[in-house]
Amino acid sequence: MSVATETTARSVEKYRVTRSRRNVAWTGLGALVVVVVLALFPYIVYSGTTSIMVQAFIVLTLASMWNLLAGYAGLVSVGQQAFVGLGAYFVLILNIHSISMFTALPVAAVGCGVAALPMWWLVSRLRTGYFAIATWVLATTVLLIIEKFPSIGGGTGMSLPHTPNNGTALLEADTYWIGLAVTVLSLVTVYLLLRGRLGLVLTAIRDDEVAARSSGARVGLARMLVFVVAAIGCGAAGALLAISQLIVQPSAVFSVQWTAVMAFAVIIGGLGTIEGPILGTIVYIILQQTLASYNAWYLIILGLVAMVVALFARRGLWGLVDDHLHIRLFPVGYWLWAPGSGGRRLRGVSPRRGGRHS
Amino acid sequence: MAWVNDIIQGILTGGLYALFACGLSLMFGVMKVVNLAHGDLAVIGGYIAVGVITVTHIPVLWSVVIVVPLMALLGYVLQRTVIQASLDRSILTTLLVTFGLSVVIENGLLQFVNADSHSLGVGNAIITSSFSIGSQITIAYLLLLIFVVAVVVLLGLQYFLSVSKYGRLIRAVADDKEAAQLSGVDYRHVFGIAAAIAFGTVALAGIAYGMYSQFSPTTGTDTILLFAFAAVVIGGLGSLWGTLLGGVVLGVAQEIGAQINASDQLLAGYIVFLAVLAFRPQGLTTRRAQS
């Protein structure tokens, strides 16, 4: 066979593009098994464990939203506590009007999404660091306004007045299941958004904003969508916080500490990967539980680790896993297979996310 | 007359806010770094002053001579290490790292010092006394002093940047650091110098705030950083005199808010800030905004 015909034969064989290097059917199945096992937790573990898990659900939901903002859209918001607080207060307000706190959760989340629109109009005028501080000022302003209403607790806060009275065990289990549902829904939403057109636009913006704009990508719209989705997610987490604590205190729910927690979990786990926030949340919960008796120490350690990771291992813990094993639990990029390469990878075009500028 | 007094108090407090904003503005103008740990560093300046005064028993105002150089040195070192390293990676990294620094400093102070409030110069005659004009207007010497210091610092910076050799270098690297590098300027060193100056003003701001009011570990973010930022945005990004005007507008808004209802002081300031952001995002002094 001549060289020429061999080349022709090769070009007939197509390049293949897949979502991941490895088959992801098993990861989907694995995720399903994990969710089912987690759903059975209230039957098999102590209530102390489920309440820690609820904290983990709150942090994971917040972290995956912050990851969407900072890791994919390049929007470093330091004011996400605005939506945590608003979510909690929406639950309180609805509960005062005798609406069950579990029914109030989705309403609170949507309410936060609506509230995010005027806020976006204000803060989108600023970029990078000034955007960050503007969101912070906005969160503080929302707190100051809410504190002016004594009917919802004023500056001290109040307990949810209408809590279900069919036993603590059932209440805790219900809270746990709602928390699990919120978290799974958040992760699935982020995954589907990034897999779709929005993910493509965000990747284009990250690589070259001017080129993306000139190719017709609606940059402003994409960023706004991300901001609103993140507000809904953080609002749901805030509502979950109110449900799990049964009390809403303004300084606690509007604390900038929430943003610190979500940012650190994302940075340590891996900014710009869907898997990163999961790992980061695990690290956070372990540190927080072990160092709980040493006050602020866990935040100091987390902050220092996050700084080191941001400087020296930009893709975080999940980046290390990915570099060695090429695993994507939630593949949103693409993998290019050369013709005839069989099982061998020729070139990975999986997007390496971790910030717009490089 | 009460309103006149409020406006005068607001203008003078604006000097303090302009002093807060100076370092933030300078670091953004030169390095394009928005230092989210800005306020916490000012609080560190305040704590160092408390420490220096407790140990040496020098008068409060003299603590400036020790604290400002110390903070300037810290600024140079931080810029040459952590901040430069994050700048080399991306703007996003500078935000992540300075936010991390902010949280670490705040919680570190809570852990190692305590959550108590401190203040500087209680019992010092210059700091606590005031004089009156007519029956309604009372001006504290301290506020007047802070305002004068703020104006002197802004004038000095303006003069330094436009006339001196280092000022020229700073403007050169701010414009185009690669071109400056090609002309034989070590831009990293110049960044370090700019950071040292910025941190010097941060130290002044911390001490001034300590004399004006009480500070605790959380003052850095919930007061100094946010006020500084509001002053910068109201005045217009990248303009030193705009910063002073921004500080004054914020100060007056807060005083008027406090006059309406004592608890509305902060809210009034932020509402003016949001209004400027909504209707005049380039700031009050007309310059090309945005970076």
How do residues A101-140 score in pLDDT, each as one tens digit?
Answer: 999 999 999 999 999 999 999 999 888 888 998 999 999 9
B93:A314 CB<8 A = yes
Asked if residue A131 lies in contact with residue A123, where contact means CB atoms within 8 angstroms, the answer is yes
- Residues of chain B with Cβ-Cβ distance to A304 below 8 Å are 100, 104
State the nearest Cα–Cα gap between A283 and chain B, in angstroms: 16
CA–CA distances in Å: residue A339 to residues A4, A12, A24, B147, B159: 16, 9, 21, 73, 66
- Residues of chain A with Cβ-Cβ distance to B99 below 8 Å are 76, 78, 132, 260, 263
Q: Is the pLDDT of residue A19 over 80?
A: no
A311:B229 CB<8 A = no
Identify which of A279, A267, A283, A282 has the alpha carbon closest to the alpha carbon of residue A330. Answer: A279
B270:A134 CB<8 A = no
Band (A334; pLDDT cuts 50, 70, 90)? confident
pLDDT of A205 reads 85
* Strand-pair category, A247-248 with A158-159: antiparallel
Q: What is the DSSP string of A28-39?
A: HHHHHHHHHHHH
Closest residue on chain B to A73 (Cα)? B92
In terms of pLDDT, which residue wins out, B88 or A9? B88
CA–CA–CA angle A269, A69, A357 (5° rounding): 85
Residue A104 CA to residue A174 CA, distance in Å, equals 14
Tens of pLDDT along chain B (291 residues) come to 678 888 999 999 999 999 999 999 899 888 889 999 999 999 999 999 999 998 988 888 888 999 999 999 999 999 999 999 999 998 889 999 999 999 999 999 998 888 888 888 766 777 778 888 877 788 888 899 999 999 999 999 989 998 998 899 999 988 888 898 898 889 999 999 999 999 999 999 999 999 998 899 988 888 899 999 999 989 887 677 888 999 999 999 999 999 888 888 999 999 999 999 888 887 777 555 444
Asked if residue B149 lies in contact with residue B126, where contact means CB atoms within 8 angstroms, the answer is no
pLDDT of A11 reads 52
Closest residue on chain B to A118 (Cα)? B278
B36:A303 CB<8 A = no
Query: By three-state DSSP, how is residue A296 classified?
Result: coil
B96:A307 CB<8 A = yes
Asked if residue A324 lies in contact with residue A43, where contact means CB atoms within 8 angstroms, the answer is no
Q: Is the pLDDT of residue A358 over 80?
A: no
- Residues of chain B with Cβ-Cβ distance to A136 below 8 Å are 221, 225-226, 229
B274:A122 CB<8 A = yes
Of B101, B226, B232, the CB nearest to A136: B226
Query: Which tens digits make up the pLDDT trace of B158-215?
Result: 899 989 988 999 999 888 888 988 988 899 999 999 999 999 999 999 999 999 988 9
pLDDT of A24 reads 67
Q: What six digits make up the tokens of B118?
A: 């401190």
A133:B96 CB<8 A = no
Residue B270 CA to residue A147 CA, distance in Å, equals 15
**What's the pTM value of the predicted model, to 2 decimals?**
0.88
pLDDT of A21 reads 63
Q: Is the pLDDT of residue A255 over 50?
A: yes
Asked if residue B283 lies in contact with residue B235, where contact means CB atoms within 8 angstroms, the answer is yes
Q: Which CATH class is domain B2-279?
A: mainly alpha
Q: Is the pLDDT of residue A2 over 60?
A: no
pLDDT of B286 reads 56
Of B97, B270, B290, the CB nearest to A141: B270
Q: Is the pLDDT of residue A6 over 90?
A: no
Residues 6 or more apart whose CB falls under 8 angstroms from that of A110 comprise A232, A235
Buried b / exposed e over A8-43, threshold 16 CB at 10 Å, is: eeeeeeeeeeeebbeebeebeeebeeeeeebeeebe
CA atoms within 13 A on the CB side of B38: 32
- Residues of chain A with Cβ-Cβ distance to B28 below 8 Å are 129-130
A256:B221 CB<8 A = yes
pLDDT of A56 reads 96
A134:B233 CB<8 A = yes
Of A70, A127, A311, the CB nearest to B85: A311
Q: What six digits make up the tokens of A61?
A: 């939901």
Asked if residue A27 lies in contact with residue A349, where contact means CB atoms within 8 angstroms, the answer is no
State the nearest Cα–Cα gap between A279 and chain B, in angstroms: 18
Closest residue on chain B to A309 (Cα)? B97
Residues 6 or more apart whose CB falls under 8 angstroms from that of A189 comprise A229, A233
Count of A–B CB contacts within 8 Å?
146
- Residues of chain B with Cβ-Cβ distance to A314 below 8 Å are 89, 93
pLDDT of A23 reads 62
Asked if residue B45 lies in contact with residue B109, where contact means CB atoms within 8 angstroms, the answer is no
The DSSP secondary-structure symbol of A267 reads H
Number of DSSP helices (H) and strands (E) in chain A, helices first: 15, 4
Identify which of A146, A32, A141 has the alpha carbon closest to the alpha carbon of residue A87. Answer: A146
Of B85, B99, B274, the CB nearest to A263: B99
Chosen from B91, B92, B267 to mutate, greatest number of chain A CBs within 10 A: B92
pLDDT of A190 reads 94
Q: What six digits make up the tokens of A67?
A: 């990851």
CA–CA distances in Å: residue B111 to residues A259, B104, B107: 20, 10, 6
Band (A347; pLDDT cuts 50, 70, 90)? very low
Residue B44 CA to residue A307 CA, distance in Å, equals 19
In terms of pLDDT, which residue wins out, B129 or A245? A245
pLDDT of A22 reads 62
H or E segment to which residue B39 belongs: helix B38-56
Query: Which tens digits make up the pLDDT trace of A216-230?
Result: 888 899 999 999 999
Q: What is the DSSP string of B201-251?
A: HHHHHHHHHHHHS-B-TTHIIIIIIHHHHHHHHHH-TT-HHHHHHHHHHHH
pLDDT of A118 reads 95
Closest residue on chain A to B85 (Cα)? A311
B104:A264 CB<8 A = no
Percent of chain A residues past pLDDT 70, beyond the cut: 88
Of B107, B225, B281, the CB nearest to A296: B107
Query: Which tens digits make up the pLDDT trace of A136-168?
Result: 999 999 999 999 999 998 889 999 998 888 788
H or E segment to which residue A237 belongs: helix A219-245
Of B97, B107, B229, the CB nearest to A310: B97
Residue B36 CA to residue B24 CA, distance in Å, equals 9
pLDDT of B222 reads 84
Residue A127 CA to residue A78 CA, distance in Å, equals 13
User: Domain map of chain B by residue range?
Assistant: 2-279
Residues 6 or more apart whose CB falls under 8 angstroms from that of A42 comprise A50, A172, A173, A176, A177
- Residues of chain B with Cβ-Cβ distance to A271 below 8 Å are 96
Band (A345; pLDDT cuts 50, 70, 90)? very low
